[in-house]
Structure 1
Amino acid sequence: MSDGTLSIIFKLGLACWSVAVVGWSSVAPAQTLMGNVEVDASELVERLDAQDARLDAAERERDELRLAVESLAQADPGKAPLDPAVKPVPTDKAAAPVAVATGFTAFPRSPDGRTVYVSAEGNDRNHGYTPDKPMRTAAAAYQRIRDGRPDRLFFRAGDQFVGNLGALKKSGRNAAQPIVIGVYENADLPNAPRPVLLSPGGTWAKNDFRDTADHVAFVGLHIVAMNRDPSRPGFNAAAMTSDHWNASAITYLGDAQNITVEDCVFEYFKFALVFQSNPNNGFATDIKLHRNMILGSYGHWDIKVAGHSSGIFAAYVDGLVITDNLWDHNGWHPDVPGAKRTKFNHNLYIQKNCTFATDIRNNIISRASAHGLQLRSGGTIADNLFVQNPLGFFTGRFPSNVNDNVVLQSIDMSDDDGEARGHGIEILPCLRANVEGNIISQKKGTLPNAYAIQFSWEKDYVEWLNGRPSTGTLKNNKVYRWPREGQPTIDVKFGDIEQDNNIIDGDFPDPDRDVASYLTTLGVSAEDASLEAFLDTARTRPRGVWWPAYSAEAVNAYIRDGFE
């Protein structure tokens, strides 16, 4: 069949996907437009890949023909017809491209990008290139994605899938044209929720040191470690295997570049997200986490069983940007035997070998096992809400800007084993730290010497400075009801720190504000308002929708008004 004949067939809309369907048939003889031919199934797969360029060209011709027909149907005699060379807006209802004005990232379809569709009603024998011929599993669909191309793997909204995607070995074209692993709309269920991807064990998607999978965006997914979910019928922690205990959702090992995770939900993993390189591979670069919910990660107190746990672990990352996420209840779970709170588990754990390009802003960080955040590398911590973490957060080593955060109600790690805590903000020795405009309010922990803000001394960090001065500013911070027996609530133990206008228990107009009282401003009755009620609602935010009222920005503004 000539290229011209193929073009005519596509332009007339006749059997435009027959080549793809035939290419994936496992039956011989295979029925084609040329008749019956005996072809091995593996050869058919190779033929399909070899015809990518022809299929892409035919698709563009079909779109141009559609546009030309629409132009003729709508033509105004007094105006020139539309230019058929202009590519029309794609007709599929992909959910990933969301208006930039909403605060979500736009991921427009590329003209030469392929979309592979996956639905619960699909079949892995389908070609997957149209919503009416979807595939069934993530792993099989990923094989259709091409390396170095801006392709898209889309799960149908509202569907549920069991199984891991597997090894990540393919990259997008560049930062502007990534591979997008996201969502397409469900025609039978308008405004359907995120697709639920149930991971049976191990890691749902993993890039290893020896493979390259750069320029990838994960958008609008809900990934659950199914055998670690305590609410799942038949859950039995005693029956969990090593694969279950050590499960992760997305793991990147090595020098990954330009990875975006946005509007996703992760539940019940040991580590929901891991981005880890090493000196031999160099830094991973430009990792962005935006408007996700990282919930209920847990490990085991006995490191031989599972070991430590956090919502995220990052090491050797340059350019880690974490914005507008909800980090709740990571590092422990009260309903799982052995998954108790320990000092080793946190909401966010950023290692000292990351760079100070780390930027953490506008997150809600709550109810961690121990620290809400360990930013061992230094960087920016700004405008976040830390609430009911036993220890709020610390930073150190490289220059750090710690500005306009709200730390509320730091608590004990445990009521039954004497794990008293209640710290607010700790600055370990670093090249420079500017700590300004923060509010630390209403300590609940019982440790008598738990500080609100402290510039601490720690041997490893002092040795790293190697004689360089540790300097910084401590200005315009406000502290309320944070008693520290026999010691200053704001304490500078190390460094040359410029201090000014830090107020402790001042004449504040309404300093008892907290998340529960904020909830009453949204119309919730005082008897029903609580931190738990706020977080339970925040966890239900729909796909592609931003709720400003349930953001760190809104709660912090309310708390701050009580101190002005």
Structure 2
Amino acid sequence: MLRQPSEARGKFVESLETRRLLAVSMTADGWTNITPSSTSRLIYVSSSTGSDSNPGTQAKPIKSLAKAKTLVRDKSADQVLLKRGDTWNESFGDWTVSGKSAQEMILIGAYGTGARPKIYSGNNMGITLAQKYSLPLNNVAIIGLEFFANTFNGSNGSFKTSGIRVMRGGSNVIIEDNYIRGYKDNITLDTDYAFNGLKVRRNVIADSYKVGSTGGSHSQGLYGGPNLRNTLIEENIFDHNGHKAGVRGAGATMFNHSVYMQTGSTGTIVRNNIIARSSMRAILLRGGGVAEGNLLVRNPVGIQAGNGSTTANNNVILEGNDLPVQQLGKGIEVFSMNTFNARNNIIAHDISTGIYNNIAFNIQGGVGTG
């Protein structure tokens, strides 16, 4: 399902006079393609061959992420393109500029051949989308990068230790084809007011964890806050989020999950993902939503949803294992909603060490079914 980013995705020409407008389109095999417009500024960045005194062309790239970021114009269709195979031991920090429109997006992506560009952000954030003065943040795509908290040990971070974080309201952000690993929270979508149309697609999201009270909260593969509207989480791989073996205090707990959408979020779709070995829940939809076509393997709870109408169709939930605090695995659990529809789900092969009370469906707290 997932692959290394296409080499062709990064092959842009520097002469753009003949282009009429930027197109955001989907390829035949389902990848987002963003073509620069005649007004786009293409900023090439290479840690191995660049210099911050260079103009930022492909022949003479910028060296640092910090410098590259300063060259991007607000409300533009500019593109920051990192060289594949290179590594940066720095963070993007706060990203404060928006794209021009839904068809003229800012792209933070890659060029060249080889492995994804690596952003080793230490115990800090990889990138935070946060427009200044609580202004909306719109029309930004992050495609084809690797983010790794390479010096985070579970206790030396903060609430900022996220791979990709969105903290302002706005619309239309695409997070696609990235490898995000080893943060307290790999993706945090906790905006200060309404954000409409976030898309998280075809990423590998793995190995989030924390120790004790680090960051003042828990550890999630993806956390979505109460102000999210119409969020799509599609065709990702989530693996081993919320805990880390061999690190004292970083074991599995009932508070850490792979996908956690908070009460208040609406219009959430979680579709065609592979989610395995979560600390607790594979998918937690506290504002309701749609969970369909997912493969969920070795999670204490496959799907839990409440506080909003929910549909759970065509999911395969296998080898449910123990909860962190008791011998009890659950396939699908719902609570406190008007309508619950579930069709064509397979729940099988529980591997909990408990003999009794293994649960396929648990419906409680005033649920209407359909």
**TM-score normalised by length of structure 2:** 0.89
Runs of 4+ more than 3 Å apart = 86-90, 96-99, 304-307
Report the Cα distance in structure 2 between the residues aligned to 1:63 and 1:157, rounded to whole angstroms: 22
Tell me which residue corresponds to 2:283: 373
1:335 CA drift (Å): 2.7
Say which one has the larger Rg: 1
Tell me which residue corresponds to 1:42: none
Tell me which residue corresponds to 1:326: 237
Tell me whether 1:227 sits opposite 2:151 in the alignment: yes
The higher relative CO (CA closer than 8 Å, separation ≥ 6) is in 2
Q: Evaluate the alpha carbon distance shift between residue 304 and residue 108 of structure 1 in structure 2; reply closer, same or farther with a 3 A threshold.
A: closer
Alignment of 1:10-25 (within 5 A): none
Which residue of 332, 335, 339 corresponds with 2:250? 339
Give yes or no for contact 2:261–2:286 (8 Å, CA) kept in 1.
yes
1:305 CA drift (Å): 6.8
Which residue of 199, 208, 212 corresponds with 2:121? 199
Tell me which residue corresponds to 2:346: 439
Amino acid at match of 2:213: I
Tell me whether 1:127 sits opposite 2:55 in the alignment: yes
Tell me whether 1:216 sits opposite 2:140 in the alignment: yes
Q: Which runs of 5+ in 1 are unaligned?
A: 1-58, 65-85, 91-95, 186-190, 229-236, 463-469, 474-564
Tell me whether 1:351 sits opposite 2:262 in the alignment: yes
Tell me which residue corresponds to 1:155: 82
Tell me which residue corresponds to 2:321: 411
Identity value in percent: 30
Which residue of 472, 477, 483 corresponds with 2:369? 472
Count of residues in Structure 1 that have an aligned counterpart in Structure 2: 353
Report the Cα distance in structure 2 between the residues aligned to 1:149 and 1:263, rounded to whole angstroms: 23
Report the Cα distance in structure 1 between the residues aligned to 2:94 and 2:69, rounded to whole angstroms: 9
Give yes or no for contact 1:390–1:410 (8 Å, CA) kept in 2.
yes
Tell me which residue corresponds to 2:359: 451
1:422 CA drift (Å): 1.0
Alignment of 1:487-506 (within 5 A): none
Alignment of 1:24-39 (within 5 A): none
Deviations 1:150-204 (A, max 9, x none): 000000011111101111110000111110000011xxxxx40101110022212
Tell me whether 1:383 sits opposite 2:276 in the alignment: no
1:289 CA drift (Å): 0.6
Instruction: Report the 3-state secondary structure (helix = DSSP H, G, I; strand = E; otherwise coil) of the residue aligned with 1:147.
Output: coil
Report the Cα distance in structure 1 between the residues aligned to 2:362 and 2:323, rounded to whole angstroms: 20
1:424 CA drift (Å): 0.7
Amino acid at match of 2:64: T
Q: Which has the higher helix share?
A: 1
Instruction: Report the 3-state secondary structure (helix = DSSP H, G, I; strand = E; otherwise coil) of the residue aligned with 2:332.
Output: strand
Which residue of 90, 94, 97 corresponds with 1:167? 94
Give yes or no for contact 1:183–1:219 (8 Å, CA) kept in 2.
yes
Which residue of 152, 156, 161 corresponds with 1:241? 156
Report the Cα distance in structure 1 between the residues aligned to 2:75 and 2:25, rounded to whole angstroms: 24
Q: Evaluate the alpha carbon distance shift between residue 157 and residue 401 of structure 1 in structure 2; reply closer, same or farther with a 3 A threshold.
A: same
Tell me which residue corresponds to 2:7: none
1:89 CA drift (Å): 11
Q: Evaluate the alpha carbon distance shift between residue 430 and residue 175 of structure 1 in structure 2; reply closer, same or farther with a 3 A threshold.
A: same
Deviations 1:206-251 (A, max 9, x none): 13472543110000001100113xxxxxxxx49x5335x8511111
Give yes or no for contact 1:168–1:213 (8 Å, CA) kept in 2.
no
Q: Which has the higher strand share?
A: 2
**TM-score normalised by length of structure 1:** 0.60
Give yes or no for contact 2:21–2:37 (8 Å, CA) kept in 1.
no
Give yes or no for contact 2:157–2:215 (8 Å, CA) kept in 1.
yes
Q: Evaluate the alpha carbon distance shift between residue 155 and residue 98 of structure 1 in structure 2; reply closer, same or farther with a 3 A threshold.
A: farther
Q: Evaluate the alpha carbon distance shift between residue 178 and residue 304 of structure 1 in structure 2; reply closer, same or farther with a 3 A threshold.
A: closer
Report the Cα distance in structure 2 between the residues aligned to 1:336 and 1:398, rounded to whole angstroms: 37
Report the Cα distance in structure 1 between the residues aligned to 2:337 and 2:60, rounded to whole angstroms: 57
Instruction: Report the 3-state secondary structure (helix = DSSP H, G, I; strand = E; otherwise coil) of the residue aligned with 1:226.
Output: coil
Deviations 1:401-458 (A, max 9, x none): 11010000110145xxx6323111011121211111100001111342131012112x
Report the Cα distance in structure 2 between the residues aligned to 1:304 and 1:366, rounded to whole angstroms: 24
Tell me which residue corresponds to 1:265: 179
Give yes or no for contact 1:170–1:212 (8 Å, CA) kept in 2.
no
1:398 CA drift (Å): 1.5
Give yes or no for contact 1:179–1:215 (8 Å, CA) kept in 2.
yes
Instruction: Report the 3-state secondary structure (helix = DSSP H, G, I; strand = E; otherwise coil) of the residue aligned with 1:452.
Output: strand
Tell me whether 1:427 sits opposite 2:331 in the alignment: no
Report the Cα distance in structure 2 between the residues aligned to 1:439 and 1:262, rounded to whole angstroms: 28
Instruction: Report the 3-state secondary structure (helix = DSSP H, G, I; strand = E; otherwise coil) of the residue aligned with 2:189.
Output: strand
1:88 CA drift (Å): 9.2
Report the Cα distance in structure 2 between the residues aligned to 1:394 and 1:143, rounded to whole angstroms: 43
Report the Cα distance in structure 2 between the residues aligned to 1:251 and 1:304, rounded to whole angstroms: 17
